Amino acid sequence: MTSTDDKIRFKVYVSARVVERFKRMISIKHPAYKQGLISREVEEAMTRHVGIFNTQAQSTQTPVEKDNPIHQVYRLKEDIKQYLVKSGRYEEEPRFVPNKLLEEAICALRGLDNRTLRKWKKLLQQYGCLKSVGISQWEILQPNNNEAIVIDITTKKTVDSLLWIVYAIILMALLFSQFLLHSWGPFGYLFL
Q: How confident is the model over 18-77, as pLDDT tens digits?
A: 888 888 878 887 778 778 888 888 888 777 777 766 655 555 554 444 445 678 888 899
In 10 A of CB 113, how many CB atoms?
Answer: 10
Q: Is the pLDDT of residue 118 over 60?
A: yes
DSSP state of 130: E
Look at residue 158 in the predicted model and tell me its pLDDT: 61
pLDDT of residue 92 exceeding 60, the answer is: yes
* Gap between the Cα atoms of 183 and 185, Å rounded: 6
* pLDDT tens digits for range 53-69: 665 555 555 444 444 56
Distance of CA 75 to the CA centre of its chain: 8
Residue 130 dihedral angles phi and psi, to the nearest 5°: -130, 150
Degrees, nearest 5: CA angle 24-10-163: 160
Q: Per-residue DSSP letters for 164-186?
A: HHHHHHHHHHHHHHHHHHHHHGG
Q: pTM of this prediction?
A: 0.42
The total of other beta-carbon atoms located within 10 Å of residue 105's CB is 21
Can you give the pLDDT at residue 24?
80
